[in-house]
Amino acid sequence: MSSADSAPLALDRPDLFIDGHWRAPRGGAQTDVVEAATEQVLGAAADATAADVDDAVGAARRALPGWAGLPIAARTDLLDRFAGELKARARATAALSSRENGMPIALSVGVNGYAPAMMVRYYADVIRNGAGDDVRASALGTRTVVRHEPVGVVAAITPWNYPQSLAAMKIAPALAAGCTVVLKPSPETALDAYVFADAALAAGLPAGVLNIVPGGRETGAHLVEHPGVDKVAFTGSTPAGRAIGEVCGRLLRPVTLELGGKSASVILDDADLDHVTARLADVSLVNNGQTCHACTRILAPRSRYDEVVDAVTETVAALRIGDPLDQATQIGPLVTRAQQRRVLDYIDIGVAAGHRLTTGGGVPDGVDTGWYVAPTVFADVDNAARLAQEEIFGPVLTITPYTDDAEAVAIANDSPYGLGGSVWTADEERGVAIADAIESGTVGVNHYALDLGAPFGGVKASGLGRELGPEGLVPYRRTKSIYL
Ligand code: NAD
């Protein structure tokens, strides 16, 4: 551990991190970051202009040959040091992220605190353990060297909901592959992104290997179009992903898109409901519902429908709402007033559509500060309803009845999205058969939790490409075949 352990992190970040040092943005602008629970200004981050993005991409380009050309041992040693510096800051990073976006601290310590260090170490190991070039015998009796080259300068653009781990899912494989990176974090959570710069400096990463330019959509759009960028890695909403995908299509620029979701929890008729409800908060309402893979559509067998509705309602009504920095809190505030408004509007849509509200339905009683929404359940929701089709991105669940397994699968798949999903059953084989039939990039049987060692990503409107696992390295490398 370094001396950075648990030291509070700076909240005033007027500079950008470009070419290995701090520099004021050319426009001199800063954006306030507001604390979700208190509605008070927490700090301020630099706001990058297009000219700053040009500088950052230039620095990343200049750093590319040196970083790509480093022997694997030297590159992975530096990544190990980078991981150590991130880990040393993990608890402070987790607390800062929770203050920014309202994530309960019990979750944030893992996903914002320790996960980035784990990912950097993981990809250093993948590279170290021989994901390298190989020589193949050809059908002509000759040999071919298949090289893996870094794809080049990576533009990484991330949202506010899991700011640290979503950035690390891009930075870690990119740096391990020998790419250099320009990260554009979301303005709502720009402060925690600076931890990557602090750690890079402390670890001695060469100048320009990692550059950080907080800013809004226009800054992101300029980065995506930049002629000096070789690959775009984006996590965010489906509309923004479509816009970015169109630009990358025109430029023939490789792009990975991790987008929205509306996943289903299929509760089979033999499920242990106590087990389902014990995991419900983690699977369906994780991070206050602000989670792309949250299983927010609950599909319940008609034979046990009332029992499921009662159990889900009782569990959700008992969740502890509170200060995101309190270890016991299960539901914190949403990230912004706008996000709170959006979720409350969806609740109004559900009430107007005549769905049966069984718990929640607005701002929690007695709360007048912080962007809280009480966890909410609507029962008897037809899957064609807006509440079941559209991503709400807040603590709102729908319950829909089904008659048999085939209908459950059909309802689960009747969605524009395909990111997560879960099946609950006493019979794992039956659960795996249903998981196989669900059109989605990931499905859990009797739980749902990302595995850093296995690929994660979506189908349909949930995106293109995969992150995590050894497969997460693939988008950051291209092959070259040299015929000998
Ligand atoms: P958003 O799309 O509004 O913004 C995400 C990031 O992209 C921000 O940094 C933003 O400034 C930038 N951006 C927006 N439009 C851009 C454009 N045209 N060009 C370049 N950059 C642009 O999303 P958000 O509201 O911050 O995040 C919530 C969304 O992210 C939800 O839809 C959620 O499902 C999705 N998400 C997906 C995953 C996943 O892995 N699939 C993970 C987390 C969040």
pLDDT tens per residue, range 82-93:
999 999 999 999
Q: According to the model, what pLDDT value does residue 7 have?
A: 65
Cα–Cα distance for residue pair 247/276, rounded to 1 Å: 42
Task: Give the residue from 255, 308, 294 showing the smallest Cα distance to 375.
Answer: 294
Q: Tens of pLDDT along 243-266?
A: 999 999 999 999 999 999 999 999
Distance CA 457, CA 441 (A): 5
CA distances from 468 to 118, 127, 157, 292, 318 (A): 11, 14, 16, 16, 34
**pLDDT of amino acid 3:** 43
Q: Residue 1's pLDDT is what?
A: 39
**Would the pLDDT of 409 be above 80?**
yes
Other residues' Cβ atoms within 10 Å of the Cβ of residue 182 = 28
Counting ligand 1 atoms within 8 A of each CB, the residue from 33, 57, 217 with the most, and so the one to mutate, is 217
Q: What's the 292 CA to ligand 1 centre distance in angstroms?
A: 10
Ligand 1 touching residue 186 (CB < 6 A): yes
Question: Which atom of ligand 1 is the closest one to the Cα of 260?
Answer: 34
| pLDDT given at position 456 | 98
Q: Atom 16 in ligand 1: which residue has the minimum CA distance?
A: 217
Catalytic machinery residues: 258
Is the pLDDT assigned to residue 5 strictly greater than 90?
no
Rg (CA), the chain: 23
Q: How far is CA 35 from CA 43, 90, 188, 189, 358, in A?
A: 9, 19, 9, 10, 30
For the chain, what percent of residues have pLDDT higher than 90?
A: 96
**Is the CB of residue 224 below 6 angstroms from any atom belonging to ligand 1?**
yes
Q: Where are the alpha helices (DSSP H) in 353-465?
A: 386-389, 405-413, 428-437
- In the predicted structure, residue 231 carries a pLDDT above the cut 80: yes
Closest Cα to atom 37, ligand 1: which residue? 259
Lookup: tokens for 265: 């929890």
What's the 149 CA to ligand 1 centre distance in angstroms?
Answer: 28
Greatest Cα pair distance, the chain, in angstroms, is 78
Rounded to an integer, what distance in angstroms lies between the CA atom of residue 10 and that of residue 17?
A: 14
Ligand 1 centroid–CA 254 distance in Å is 18
Beta strand ranges found along 101-152 (DSSP E) = 134-137, 143-150
pLDDT at 119 over 50: yes
Is the CB of residue 236 below 6 angstroms from any atom belonging to ligand 1?
yes
Q: Where are the beta strands (DSSP E) in 177-295?
A: 180-184, 210-212, 231-235, 255-258, 264-267
Q: How far, in whole angstroms, is CA 356 from its chain's centroid?
A: 31
Strand, coil or helix: what is 126? helix
pLDDT in tens, 412-438: 999 999 999 999 999 999 999 999 999
Q: State yes or no: pLDDT of 327 exceeds 80.
A: yes
Cα-based distances in Å from 235 to 36, 280, 429, 453: 21, 25, 33, 19
Confidence of residue 130 (pLDDT cuts 50, 70, 90): confident
Q: Is the CB of 160 under 6 A from ligand 1?
A: yes
- Ligand 1 atom index nearest CA of 216: 11
Q: Give residue 447's Cα distance to chain centre.
A: 19
Residues 131-172 have pLDDT tens digits of 778 899 999 999 999 999 999 999 999 999 999 999 999 999
Q: Is the CB of 237 under 6 A from ligand 1?
A: yes
Long-range contact pairs involving 377-386 (C-beta distance under 8 Å, separation at least 24): 377/309, 377/312, 377/313, 377/316, 378/350, 379/309, 379/313, 379/355, 380/355, 380/356, 381/350, 381/355, 383/297, 383/411, 383/414, 384/414, 385/350, 385/353, 385/355, 386/346, 386/349, 386/353
- Joined tokens for residue 237: 């909403």
> Looking at 129-133, 286-290, 345-349, which range is the least confident one?
129-133
Q: Which residue is closest in CA terms to ligand 1's atom 3?
A: 237
272: left (phi over 0), alpha (psi -120 to 50) or beta: beta
Q: What pTM, to 2 d.p., does this model score?
A: 0.97
Give 233 Cα–ligand 1 centroid separation in angstroms.
11
Smallest Cα–Cα separation from 183: which of 171, 174, 191? Answer: 171
Please give the mean pLDDT across all residues of the chain: 97
Average pLDDT over residues 164-192: 98
Give the Å distance between the CA of 99 and the centre of ligand 1: 19
| Domains along the chain with CATH numbers | 16-259+462-483 (3.40.605.10), 264-451 (3.40.309.10)
Share of the chain above pLDDT 70, in %: 98
Provide the 8-state DSSP code for 331: B
Mutate to test the pocket of ligand 1, among 161, 212, 247, 290 (most ligand atoms within 8 A of CB): 161
Q: Check residue 2 and give its pLDDT.
A: 43
Q: What is the pLDDT of residue 419?
A: 98
